[in-house]
Structure formats: structure tokens, C-alpha cells
Amino acid sequence: MTDPFKEAEATRKVLTAPEDASGRIDAWLATTLSGDYSRSRIKALIEEGATLVNGAVMTEPKQKVQPGDVIEVAMPVPRDPEPRGEDIPLEVLHEDEDLIVLVKPAGMVVHPAAGNWTGTLVNALIHHCGASLSGIGGVRRPGIVHRLDKETSGVMVVAKNDAAHRHLSDQFADHGRNGPLERAYQAVVWGRPRQLKGTVNAPLGRAGDRTRRAVKREDAEDAREAITHYAVTERYGETPDGASLASLVECHLETGRTHQIRVHMAHIGHPLIGDPDYGQAFRTKANRLPDEARLVVERFRRQALHAFLLQFEHPSTGETLRFEAPPPPDLERLIEALRLVRTAGSP
């Protein structure tokens, strides 16, 4: 039997029984450690030799606890559950023995994590692909070489074996500088950038929590290079000062940082419509739209971002593959509603 106290992932908890301690030790521990483990799990830990009483291993759950007993418990760190396949429909654009290209819908998380252990793209892929998925990237991220935010829709590629995973990962790490990799997004933003075409070169880092990002100084400890190329493709609603109420912008990524397009567009003063993290201050701009368009904008509760284009080199054949997907229905409705107030014409 292995020693639970020597396991690398065990947490040692030391307790001293108070003067009124009594009853079975498994029941006492279950009460004292309330919220950590159930009584049945405590009992199993005791039987596995994961409990010391006054320095001696104790494997009998029925043993009585005595006032003043020093009790040590080796508590294994909880492991994330392995994802299981779920019969979730997938919109597949291409599939072969090496990879699968699909359109991720808005609202779907890519891989399981706290608060989203089911209903993810990985759950759907495990059901669809079975044992063929690559294991590189961790148990919870089989085959995943890049990701999209939960509320961002668009084209993704997933590896189905280890060799394909390595090849695709190398392409994404290179950001297309030495190969055909290309990623392009459609974003509906507030206002219109002064320059109809431009590049945002602004390092990104954490913004106080695990997920939010902000533009950082280049010498900031967590600053990471982030470059977005953009071009205004449509303008909606001319304002008295000759600007526009909103714009459709095509963004091409030279790097792939968390929330990169969302933060960069907000940084230049044109956050995405519906963005709950970086565009809240612009919500009142909807009041300047005609009623029909205003209602559509107010009901659009996610960032208006769609990964419409993905190009890469096939890991086996070397062929350049290019895939495009039109905006999903909710984003198309938003664009059509804004086109009704379009008076500025094409850029």
C-alpha cells in the first residue's frame, strides 16, 4: 500500500480534538471537516491509512476519538473530472483522419472548467470523434490547439491525433509569420475608427482578475505582445459631426491573446457592441438609434464578434486549407438592423 502522506498531491490537515470530543472518529472528522468530504469519503481515507492519531496510523473508522487526540489527515487534492462525450450537434465544415474543422456557436465553452463541466465543445467532440482525439493539451483539452471565448462564434480547427496537434500548435504559435496561417474576425463596434485601416500594437496583461485583460506598458511584468490589424468595411448612421454611430470592422490577428480584439478595439475608443466587460460605458449610445435598431442592439447580450475565416496548412498533406463561415443569425440580425440606419455609405 502506498503511503498517502508521501503522495505529492496530498494536503496534510492537523486537528486537535477538544475536551468535549466523543464518538466515532469518522463521524467526528466528517463533522469537523464539514464541506470538504462526505462521511463515506472520510471513512475510505481512514481505511486507506490516510489518518494518523497521535502519530500512529489508524485504519479503523469505528475507533473512538478522545479529548486531546492529535489527528492528521492526508487529504488528496480534488481532481477535475474527466470530460465525457455528449451528443451535442456540431456544424462540421471539414473532417479527415487528422483534423476536424467546425463552427463553434456563441454560448458554448470550448473546454470544461469550473462552472462549465458539461455542454462544452470538448464534450461534443469526444462523442463525435471517440478515441481518435489527441490527448496533447491535457485531459480536459483533447485536440484543442486554439480557442474562442464562450460568446464568440466562428471557425475552429481541432486535431485528431498527436502529430496533427503538434503541427497545428506550431502554426498557431508562429502566428502565420512563416506560413499560411490566417485568422480573421468580423466585429460590430460603436462609432468608427478615425483611420479606416490601421494596426493596434499594444501589449496586453491581466486586469486584476483571472480573465479580464488590459493594455499594459511594454516593460510591465505580465505584458505580452499583441497586434491586431483592422479595416472598416461598413458604417452605420452618420452623426452630425460626420462620424458614424457604429461600424462593421474586419480584424486580422497577428498574435492571439485572450480578449485581444475586444480590448484593442476598446483601447482605440470603439468597443464591441454587446461586450459586457469592455463596452458597458457605451450602452447608452443605443438611445441614438431608431427604435427598431435600438431594440435589436439592446437585446444583443454578447460581444458582437465572429471568427469568420481560418486558413492553415494541413499537417499531413501540406495543402493550404481555407474556411469561411457567415455570421450566425443573431449577429446577422444586428448587422441588418444597423444597415437600416446606414447613411454614411461604404468607407
Q: Do domains 80-174 and 180-324+334-347 have the same CATH topology?
A: yes
Tens digits of residue pLDDT in 124-133 = 999 999 877 8
pLDDT of residue 2: 62
Would you say domain 4-76 falls under CATH 3.10.290.10?
Answer: yes
Q: What are the domain boundaries of the chain? A: 4-76, 80-174, 180-324+334-347
For 242-258, b/e burial (b = at least 16 CB within 10 A) is eebbbbbbbbbbbbbbb
- Give the closest residue to 320 by CA, choosing from 329, 330, 311: 311
Tens digits of residue pLDDT in 292-321 = 999 999 999 999 999 999 999 999 999 999
Helices 329-339 and 291-299 cross at an angle (nearest 10°) of 150
> What is the dihedral angle through the alpha carbons of 56, 62, 66, 70, rounded to the nearest 10 degrees?
30
Whole-prediction pTM: 0.76
Q: Give the DSSP H/E element, type plus range, for residue 30.
A: helix 25-32
Spans of the chain, pLDDT less than 70: 1-10, 34-36, 77-81, 114, 137, 342-347
What are the grid coordinates assigned to 4, written together?
498517502
State the CATH architecture for 80-174: 2-Layer Sandwich (3.30)
The CATH number corresponding to 180-324+334-347 among 3.30.2350.10, 3.40.50.2000, 3.40.190.10, 2.70.70.10 equals 3.30.2350.10
Residues noted as catalytic: 149
pLDDT of residue 7: 56
pLDDT of residue 13: 81
Distances in Å between the Cα of 155 and the Cα atoms of 102, 151, 254, 334 are: 6, 13, 17, 20
Half-sphere exposure of 12 (CA within 13 A, CB side): 13
Q: What are phi and psi of 215, to 5 degrees?
A: -70, 135
How many angstroms separate the CA atoms of 148 and 259, rounded?
9
